[in-house]
Every structure is written in structure tokens, then in C-alpha cells.
Amino acid sequence: MSKSMSSGQQVLIELRKMIISGEIPGGARVAEIPTAEMLGVSRQPVRMAFRLLEQEGLLLKNPTRGYTVREISPKLIQDALEVRGVLEGLAAKKLAEKGLNTQQQDQLMQCITQIDPIFKKTELSNEDIETYHHYNTIFHNTIIQGSDNVAIVQALSKNNQLPLASAQALTYDKNNPLSEFRRLHHAHIQHCAIFNALKNRDSARAESLMREHSHVVTLGDMMRSIFNSDLPS
């Protein structure tokens, strides 16, 4: 890992990707020092990443020392994303019915305008990925908190403990930069459509778009499976 990948957020994204892809397999024991050496970083960002990955349900803390990688199935990820879509869709519906206040509208618009410039290139840098992650998290939290529904907030908090269920659980596969660029750009376009539905108080469309948006996590894998499949002769 290069020095440009030494920030805590980038270490977290890299480790998350390695676990989800199976590069670090389920059942494997991981510890700070060998992981830091493998990534070429200090122990501190690895320690922080381990704690966050435990909260996301990707790591299980051992009784003595270190962590064990959780066994993750595609079904578990799909189930968690489906529940997230239902809950975030409901949040968007509630917010659209109430209507955006000035602060919410400004905050969502800022997220869109801050993210948009990173897609004027053909490949995302580490800094671009951090920018996307930062404003993507704010975008989702604004809608969730804007629903003014404690039950939705608490249910999402519980569901976020499952693999890839949280909007903060961003992955980026540097081995597939084109499909990852397309995936995140598609998500950005969805943000624009969601914002427009919220602004127009179109609750049905806001809910539908938000539910569909939850599946952008697996869009890259879906695209690769289509293009890598054996086509009929």
C-alpha cells in the first residue's frame, strides 16, 4: 500500500474490500501488527478499522486477542441490503411528505455539488473516494434523520451491524476501476433523482428511488457477472 493510502478511511475501505471479496477469508484470524505490515501502514489506522469493521459485523472480537473474520454469504448481504432499502425508502417517503426545510435542501444540494466534480475524470483517486464517502454519508443521514421517525433510525442502526448494510460501509475495488467508477457515478445520479423527488414532494418516487439505491452496493459485481458470462454463440 502506498503512503497515499495511509489514512484511516482508506485503510478501512481496503480491509472491507478484502474481507467482502474473500481475499481475507471467513474464519481467518487477524491482528493489528501483521495487518499493518501487510498494508504498509502504522497500527493506529488498522486498530480503528478493526473496531469499525466489528461494528459493521465483518469482524468478530476474539475472547483473548485479535479478531476473526465473519463468514459472509451473498444471501446475508442481499438480505441486509433489502431491509436497508425498505427502511431508507420509508425515510425518504416520510421526508417527502413533510417537505424539505431550507437546511435539509441546502445540505443535500451541497452533497451533490461536492461529489459531482470527481466524476469529470475517468478514474477515481484515493482522495476522490474519501470525498464520495464523506458526502454520501451526510446525504443518507440527512434523509434518515429528516424522516423524524425514531423507529426507522433505531431499526437502521440495528441493521447497520450486518455486512455492507450501512451507507458508511463503502467498498472500492481498485482491481476493477472502470466498473467501480460506473457504479459510484450511477449512485451519484440516483442521489440527484432522489433529491429532485424530495424537493418536489413526490413521496412515492422518493421511496422507490431510495429502495433501488440500496442495491448499488452490488452493482459492480452484477455488471462483471454479465460481461464475464459465456454469451450464446
Backbone angles phi, psi at 148, to 5 degrees: 55, 40
The CATH number that domain 3-69 falls under is: 1.10.10.10
pLDDT at 139 (0 to 100): 98
| pLDDT of 1 over the 60 cut | no
pLDDT at 3 (0 to 100): 39
pLDDT tens digits, residue range 46-63?
A: 999 999 999 888 999 999
Over range 108-119, report the average pLDDT: 97
Over range 128-154, report the average pLDDT: 96
The confidence band for 230, taking pLDDT boundaries of 50, 70 and 90, is low
CATH assignment of 74-228, among 1.10.260.40, 3.90.1310.10, 1.20.120.530, 3.40.50.150: 1.20.120.530
The confidence band for 64, taking pLDDT boundaries of 50, 70 and 90, is confident
Mean per-residue pLDDT over the chain, rounded: 90
pLDDT at 4 (0 to 100): 43
Q: Where are the domains of the chain?
A: 3-69, 74-228
Is the pLDDT higher at 223 or at 96?
96
pTM, 2 dp: 0.85
Cα–Cα distances in angstroms (integers) from residue 218 to residues 197, 201, 215, in the given order:
24, 29, 6
Is the pLDDT higher at 77 or at 230?
77
